[in-house]
Amino acid sequence: MPELLAFQHGFAAALRDRQRTPATQQWLAGDADHVERRVAIYRANMVASADKALSAAYPVVRQVVGDEFFHGLAREFLRGTPSTSGDLTAFGAAFAQFLAAFEHAQSLPYLPDLARLEWAVHRAYGAADAPDWDAGTLGAVEPGRQDAIRFRWSPGLAVVESTFPIVRIWTIHQAGYGGEFSVAWDLSDTALVARDGFAVTVAACGAGDAAFLNASLAGAALGDAATAALSRHPDFDLGALLGRALAARLICGFTL
Amino acid sequence: MTAATTTLSGTGIGLRQPHYREVFERRPELAFLEVHSENFFLDGGASMHALERARAAYPISLHGVGLSLGSADRLADEHLAKLARLVDRVEPALVSEHLCWGGVGGVHFNDLLPLPHTSETLALLADRIDRVQARLKRPILIENLSAYVECRDSDMTETAFLAELARRTGCGLLLDLNNLYVNAINFGFDAVARLAELDGASIGQIHLAGHAVVDDCLIDTHGSVVCDPVWALYEHACRRFGARPTLIEWDTDLPALDVLLGQAGQASAIARSEATHA
């Protein structure tokens, strides 16, 4: 193996496992104690980078569990799911799965769903800006062909389903929230995450709307998506949903 | 053109999110703003909009922290593609990267890790910089690193290594004087003597920042004001090389914008005073 590659593999092993540090002495100047103390600086940087990236994506999870516990979560998450890129934008995508399995987070069963909501918010924040679109073109579709419409939804739009009141939990942890802080724990929320200009919005979404949106986001035509929603949620109101979606510019095009 | 012949001159600051609004409203007199490239590898949204606003008002320097030029196994082409897309979008005045590696074997540490300064590393870095400059269609600046460990295999100083890298690739150098000082203390060398190893014509930018002291080690935190010995090095560098575009770099424990502007003013005054004696 070329010397540089051997050094980097050795150093990488020491960063991820303290027991592997002594082997780096063949490349690094100083005695064992010195090398361990200095490599520990890099090890701490590595965890700090993960903590910072996860904190940016999961600010509410961090508030809920506290800074110290969150730092521990970051270290544990990093151990099993190391970063694979110099771009940390996508780091932390699997945090919800990690939280669902992490023994010391089981006392907060809603945490994984809250994390899925925050990840959708994080993705929406950096999603492409919605293109301008003339919604009037939708009205020009012949009634007989409307069932075949496939909507192009605005980038970042996501539905996050949960059996916990995650929209409520998310809302009361936002900076500037001025209301009261009670949570009705027996309620469940489905969240609709969307961009409003450059802001990201999180709103509660009815079960029928969620079923329609999930089908449509997955590529289903309007008629099929509406049928799927109505079959399980007879009160689903397609007209009302489309009216709200068009008003909020959540639809930015369609194909036939 | 070489990176050092950029039209940029004067002092800038790192633009960080908590200062966006104030910078856009006050429009402080600054030669340029620098951002971390990777924070803008996004398709759209508020951050990209802020960068576009900044770009409309100031020249932009894109400072990369994740390309990992020195990873022995591979250059991350997908990362380079994102950087190229950002460069096309922003048309920055400067693009810089570090003399470091950040990951190997598919794992990234998201840190700036030190390299042995050997002929093997030199050949690798020269090839990587050629590829990056070809992809970006422009010369880039390479920054000297702060480090906490020293590689036994190094057979040249970092400054001599960088001088040779600039000669081979036509890249410019980003001289971080805080990093040089941190290493001078951590490894016990004379920083001023190291500056003599550099060709002033290759220096396209200077970074100034603060560091922390932990036990027997200086740590490059970018979380405090520039210390007096680093200001003294800056005076020396301005005398020796002439004034260069200079950045006040501050990333952690971000203070009020006026603190950064005060540091930038101090740098400008030194550059004006010392460069006239150069």
Beta strand ranges found along chain B (DSSP E) = 11-14, 32-36, 60-63, 94-98, 101-104, 107-113, 141-143, 172-176, 203-209, 212-214, 217-219, 246-249
pLDDT at A2: 80
Q: How many structural domains does chain A have? A: 1
Per-residue pLDDT of chain B (278 residues; tens, 9 = 90+): 344 446 789 999 999 999 999 999 999 999 999 999 999 999 999 999 999 999 999 999 999 999 999 999 999 999 999 999 999 999 999 999 999 999 999 999 999 999 999 999 999 999 999 999 999 999 999 999 999 999 999 999 999 999 999 999 999 999 999 999 999 999 999 999 999 999 999 999 999 999 999 988 999 999 999 999 999 999 999 999 999 999 999 999 999 999 999 999 999 999 999 877 65
User: Containing domain of residue A227, as a range?
Assistant: 131-256
Q: How far is A133 from chain B (nearest CA, A)?
A: 17
- Please tell me the distance from the alpha carbon of residue A170 to that of residue A201, in angstroms, as a whole number: 11
Cβ–Cβ gap B107/A16 under 8 Å: yes
pLDDT at B278: 54
pLDDT at B215: 87
- ipTM score here? 0.94
| CA nearest to A78, candidates A13, A21, A36, A16 | A16
> Which one of B24, B40, B111 makes the best mutation probe of the A interface by having the most chain A beta carbons within 10 Å?
B111
pLDDT at A239: 96
A215 falls within a domain: yes
Burial code of A235-250, b = ≥16 C-beta within 10 A, e = fewer?
ebbbeebbeebeebbb
Whether residue B69 lies within 8 A of chain A, CB to CB, comes out as: no
Residue A80 burial by CB count (10 A; 0-12/13-18/19+): exposed, middle or buried? Answer: exposed
A255 falls within a domain: yes
**Residue of chain B whose alpha carbon sits nearest to that of A38:** B148
Query: How many CB pairs below 8 Å do chains A and B form together?
Result: 147
Q: How far is A29 from chain B (nearest CA, A)?
A: 5
pLDDT at B277: 65
A59 falls within a domain: no
pLDDT at B274: 83
- 3-class secondary-structure state, position B96: strand
Per-residue pLDDT of chain A (256 residues; tens, 9 = 90+): 689 999 999 999 999 999 999 999 999 999 999 999 999 999 999 999 999 999 999 999 999 999 999 999 999 999 999 999 999 999 999 999 999 999 999 999 999 999 999 999 999 999 999 999 999 999 999 999 999 999 999 999 999 999 999 999 999 999 999 999 999 999 999 999 999 999 999 999 999 999 999 999 999 999 999 999 999 999 999 999 999 999 999 999 999 9
Q: How far is A247 from chain B (nearest CA, A)?
A: 20
Residue A204 tokens read as 């509660």
Give all domains of chain B, ordered by start, each with its CATH number: 3-275 (3.20.20.150)
- Please tell me the distance from the alpha carbon of residue B263 to that of residue A44, in angstroms, as a whole number: 29
A192 falls within a domain: yes
| CA nearest to B178, candidates B218, B141, B151, B148 | B218
